[in-house]
Amino acid sequence: MAAPPPVERLRITPRSAVVAVALFGAALALVRILMASQRVIGWVLAAAAIAALLYPMVTTLSRRMPRGLAVAIVALATVGSVSVVVYGAVDGIVREMGHLEDAAPRRIAELERSERFGEIARDFELRQRVERLVGSAPERLRGGTPADALRSAATRGVAFLATAVLTLFFLLHGPEIAAAAARQVHDPERRATLERVGYRAYVRAFGYTRRTIGMAAVAGLLAYLLARAADVPGPAPLALWAGMWDVVPFLGAIVGTLPIVVLAAAVDPSKGVLLAGIFIGYQIFESTVLQRRVERRTLRVGPFLTVTAGFAGLELYGIGGALLVLLAVVLAVAVADELAPD
C-alpha cells in the first residue's frame, strides 16, 4: 500500500513575519515616493527621450569637433528652431482662433441650411456643439483664468529649464551612463547580448520615432496649405491638430483632417469633396509608400498599440505623457522584436 503524500504546511516564523511587514512597508513607501516625485520623474524621462532623439546629430558633429562644442551647437540649433516654430504657431493660433470663433458657427449655420447636410447637422446639434467648443477654446489655450495661466506659465518655465539642463547632461554623459549600466552585468556573454539588444532597439525605436515625427510635420504642412487655399478659418490650429493625429496610423488621418473638410464643405460642398479626396490620396501614399519604408528600416508598431498608448499617456500626464508612453511602447516593441527568435 502506497504511503500518503506528505502534507505541506505553511509555517510563519517571527523572522519571516518581520520581513513580510518590512517589505510591505517598503513597498508602500516606494509608491508614496513615486507619487510625490512623478513630476521630477517626468522631467528626467522627457530629457532622456529628447537627448536620445538628438544624439545622432551630436555624434555626427563630434567627429569633426570636441563633443562639448557639438552638444552646444545642437542645443542652440534645437532651441532656436523650436522657439521659431512655437512662436509662429502660438501667434497664428491666437490670431486665428478669434477668426475661427466668429467664422465656425456661421459656417455651421450655412451647413444646417443646406439641403444635403442640413437635417443631419440639426439632428446632431452641430451648431451648439461648435459654439461651445470655440467659446471655451481661448480659456483652454491659455490654461484657464489669467491667474491660472500665470501660475501655469511659471510651472512650465521651471519644467522647461529643468528638462533643458537634464537634456544637456544626458547628451554629455549619456554614453558613459549606459556603459556603466551594462558593466553591472558581470557575465561577459550576457553583457554582450544586453549591449547588442539595447543598441539595436535604440536605433530602431528612435529611428521609427524620428521618421514618424517627420511624416507628421509633412502632413501638418499639407493640411495648413490646403486649409489656406480653401479659405478655411483657423488653418494653423487645424493643421496642428492634423499633424498631431497623423502619428496614429490610418485612423489619425481621418480624425485629424475631418474638421478642415467639414468647414470647407459648409461653404462649398464640392470644395469639401476635393479636399477629402486630396487627404485620402495623401493618406494612401503615406501608408503604402512612406510608412512601409519606415517600417522596413525600423519596425512596425501598428494602430492598436499607438492609440492605446496615446490615450493611456494622455490620461496620466497630458500630451507630454502621451508622447512619452508612446515612445516607451515603441521601445518595448523594438526590444521584444530583437529578443524574439528568428
Quote the pLDDT of residue 329: 84
For 12, phi and psi rounded to 5 degrees?
-105, 110
pLDDT at position 153: 56
Which stretches of 61-113 are assigned E, i.e. beta strand?
Answer: none
What pLDDT, on a 0 to 100 scale, did the predictor assign at position 338?
Answer: 81
The label of the residue with cell 500665470 reads: 150
Q: Which pLDDT does position 265 carry in this prediction?
A: 84
The answer to whether residues 194 and 288 touch, using CB atoms and an 8 Å cutoff, is: no
Handedness of CA 207, 212, 291, 89 (dihedral sign): negative
Q: Which residues lie closer than 8 Å to 255 by C-beta, 6 or more apart?
A: 245, 248
**pLDDT tens digits, one per residue of 123-167:** 666 666 666 665 555 555 555 555 555 565 556 677 788 888 888
pLDDT of residue 93: 63
Q: What is the pLDDT of residue 128?
A: 63
Phi-psi region of 125 (alpha: psi -120 to 50; beta: other; left: phi over 0): left
CA distance 47 to 137: 30
C-alpha cell at 167: 537634456
Query: Is there a contact between 329 and 208 (Cβ–Cβ < 8 Å)?
Result: no
Distances (CA, A) of 71 to 11, 32, 206, 274: 60, 36, 19, 46
Query: Average pLDDT for consecutive 10-residue bins of the chain (342 residues)?
Result: 59 73 80 71 82 87 86 86 70 63 66 66 64 56 53 67 86 85 85 86 87 87 88 80 79 81 83 88 86 83 76 69 80 83 64
pLDDT at 172: 85
Q: Check: CB of residue 233 under 8 Å from CB of residue 75.
A: no
- Which DSSP symbol is given to 65? S
Q: Provide the greatest CA pair distance for the chain.
A: 93
SS (H, E, C) 201-254: HHHHHHHHHHHHHHHHHHHHHHHHHHHHHCCCCCHHHHHHHHHHHCCCCCHHHH
What is the reported pLDDT for 171? Answer: 86
Which one-letter DSSP state was computed for residue 289?
I
pLDDT at 47 (0 to 100): 85
Q: What is the pTM of this model?
A: 0.67
Element (H, E) at 14: helix 14-36
